[in-house]
């Protein structure tokens, strides 16, 4: 009887210990948030694609990623630095300015900003209503033009382009500063004459703008001033808008402009394991990733390590070395 009692007590004790330790044995889930941009651009689906890849391996990595639509590059950098976001998609020029303490971060370099990889090229694109008689960037003088919302990367691109063309947005234009998603409707309603948007193509915003009753033309952003600006600012490069993607526009040939790259960034404070897992999933599912959006078709693995001016996060570097990319 005593032996039976002791055996029962031992079994109950062991069972209690096992049940009590079960929660500790379960893998802890790490929640991360990815900042993107407006829902009509390429940033939002890009963030969604990255999150989906990581979430598909939730049991393996213990990571749960969510996506947030944001005001764009500047917002994303600032939110990552404050800890409100873990990752974000940022134009290459904004990454350069943040790490070097320029533009919005004048005298305050964001030393904890870390690069993970670059993604697709983005063209500084100018669309104008045909009835506004805008055929060159200089024709924007006196017109009502959306240059982009404060906190977006595209706003500075617009200002750079205008400066290079000899135009002051505050004095020479009737400048609007709304989000890119609002601009196509404003153009079609006759409330603006033109708008800038830095984006990968095809873009939902430009499909919407060029499919309405008011005819639209893509305007070249070129000239000696633009060429000089590209030479002076290493994060810019010549680019073009493939007009075949926008059959509603009046253009008959591709439109020359300049552009940047979209880059995926994080903070030095984010775990090496988390950054490694996200980098690995994107690169090891590279062909599937490329199929998610037409703007990705020009991607190469090697090209995704270009345009990174902030230090590469150790988690990303660990994968790049394993894969022979560094």
Strands 113-129 and 216-219: antiparallel
248 falls within a domain = yes
Cα distances (angstroms) measured from residue 275 to each of 50, 65, 302: 12, 12, 18
Tell me: do 162 and 252 sit in the same domain: yes
Q: Same domain, yes or no, for 105 and 222?
A: no
Q: Are strands 113-129 and 194-199 parallel, antiparallel or unpaired?
A: antiparallel
User: Among all chains, which residue has been given the structure tokens 């790259």?
Assistant: 261
Claim to verify: residue 273 and residue 254 sit in the same structural domain: no
Q: Is residue 310 part of a domain?
A: yes
- How many domains does one find in the chain? 2
Q: Are residues 152 and 65 in the same domain?
A: no
What is the pTM for the complete model shown?
0.77
H or E segment and range at residue 145: strand 144-146
CATH label of the domain that carries residue 313: 3.40.190.10
Q: How wide is the angle at C-alpha 165 spanned by C-alphas 164 and 170, nearest 5°?
A: 90
Question: Using the 8-state DSSP alphabet, how is residue 137 labeled?
Answer: G
Q: Tell me if 288 is assigned to some domain.
A: yes
Considering the domain architecture, whether residues 286 and 266 belong to the same structural domain is answered as yes
Q: How far is CA 40 from CA 53, 125, 201, 206, 216, in A?
A: 21, 14, 11, 9, 18
Residue 13 lies in a domain: no
| Count of CB atoms situated within 10 Å of the CB of 118 | 22
Examine the domain organization and report whether 150 and 256 are in the same domain.
Answer: yes
What is the reported pLDDT for 21? 44
- Whether residue 138 sits in one domain with residue 174: yes
- The pLDDT, as a whole number, for residue 293 is 81
Whether residues 36 and 152 fall in one domain? no
The whole-number mean pLDDT for each consecutive block of 10 residues of the chain, a chain of 326 residues, reads: 44 44 59 92 90 94 96 95 98 94 95 95 96 98 97 91 97 96 97 96 94 98 95 88 96 95 96 98 94 84 91 98 96
What's the rounded Cα separation, in Å, for the pair 12 and 102?
66
Domain boundary, last residue among 260, 281, 314: 260
Residue 279 lies in a domain: yes
Identify whether residues 252 and 270 lie together within a single domain.
no
- 74/197 same-domain check: no
Confidence (pLDDT) at 195: 98
Nearest CA-CA partner of 276 in 38, 2, 63: 63
User: For residues 209 and 17, what is the distance between their CA atoms, to the nearest angstrom?
Assistant: 65
Q: What is the pLDDT of residue 152?
A: 85
Is 62 part of a structural domain of the chain? Answer: yes
113 and 130 within one domain: no
Structural domain containing residue 46: 30-121+261-322
CA proximity to 193, closest of 176, 171, 211: 176
What pLDDT was estimated at residue 11?
43
Q: What is the DSSP letter of 311?
A: P
Contacts of 237 (CB under 8 A, 6+ apart): 121, 230, 258, 259, 260
Q: Is residue 6 situated within a structural domain?
A: no
Count of residues in the chain: 326
From 214, 233, 260, the end of a domain falls on 260
**pLDDT confidence of residue 27:** 60
Asked if 310 and 211 sit in the same domain, the reply is no
* pLDDT at 15 (0 to 100): 40
What 3-state class would DSSP assign to 136?
coil
Select from 207, 226, 260 the last residue of a domain: 260
Is residue 194 situated within a structural domain?
yes
């Amino acid at each position: 009887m005593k032996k039976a009692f002791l055996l029962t007590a031992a079994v109950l004790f062991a069972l209690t210990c096992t049940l009590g330790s079960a929660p500790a044995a379960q893998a802890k889930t790490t929640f991360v948030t990815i900042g993107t941009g407006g829902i009509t651009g390429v940033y939002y689906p890009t963030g969604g694609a990255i999150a989906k890849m990581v979430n598909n391996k939730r049991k393996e990595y213990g990571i749960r990623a969510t996506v947030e639509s944001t005001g764009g590059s500047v917002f994303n950098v600032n939110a990552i630095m404050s800890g409100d976001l873990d990752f974000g998609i940022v134009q290459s020029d904004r990454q350069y300015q943040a790490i070097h303490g320029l533009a919005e971060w004048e005298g305050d370099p964001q030393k904890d900003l870390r690069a993970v990889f670059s993604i697709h090229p983005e063209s500084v694109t100018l669309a104008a209503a045909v009835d506004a008689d805008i055929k060159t960037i200089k024709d924007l003088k006196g017109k009502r033009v959306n240059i982009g919302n404060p906190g977006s990367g595209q706003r500075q691109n617009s200002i750079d382009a205008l400066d290079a063309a000899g135009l002051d947005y505050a004095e020479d234009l009737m400048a609007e500063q709304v989000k890119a998603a609002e601009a196509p409707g404003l153009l079609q309603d006759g409330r603006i004459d033109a708008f800038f948007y830095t984006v990968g193509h095809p873009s939902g915003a430009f499909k919407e703008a060029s499919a309405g009753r008011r005819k639209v033309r893509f305007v070249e952003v070129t000239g000696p001033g633009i060429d000089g600006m590209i030479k002076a600012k290493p994060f810019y490069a010549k680019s073009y808008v493939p007009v075949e993607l926008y059959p509603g526009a009046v253009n008959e040939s591709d439109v020359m402009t300049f552009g940047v790259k979209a880059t995926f960034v994080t903070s030095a404070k984010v775990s090496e394991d988390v950054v490694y897992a996200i980098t690995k999933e994107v690169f090891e599912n590279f062909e599937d990733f490329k199929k998610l959006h037409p703007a990705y078709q020009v991607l190469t693995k090697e090209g995704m390590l270009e345009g990174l001016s902030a230090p590469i996060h150790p988690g990303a570097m660990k994968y790049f070395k394993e894969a022979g990319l560094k």
